[in-house]
Amino acid sequence: RELKIIGASAYSIRHSATTELAKLGIPERDLATFTHHSQNSRTVQQYYIFASSTRANEISRTISYLH
């Protein structure tokens, strides 16, 4: 089905949702279940890495803004 959201796909929405869940600290095991990947999936680990670097960038911007 077509989402009718310009620039969005089912994959991009799933990726965004999974990244947000990782940023909230949802365990890898639960992310694997959500994404239908194996528990030791490299893809699931990549969500954690991406979420971690995204969060670090947010913190860095906040610190820069405050100083």
Whole-number mean pLDDT of the chain?
A: 80
Residue located via tokens 């893809």: 43
Dump the DSSP string for 5-61.
-TT--HHHHHHHHHHHHHHTT--HHHHHHHHT--TT-HHHHHHHHHHHHHHHHHHHH
Stretch 7-24: mean pLDDT? 83
Sequence letter at residue 28: E
Domain range annotation of the chain: 10-66
Q: What band does 31 get if pLDDT is binned at 50, 70 and 90?
A: confident
pTM given for the model: 0.59
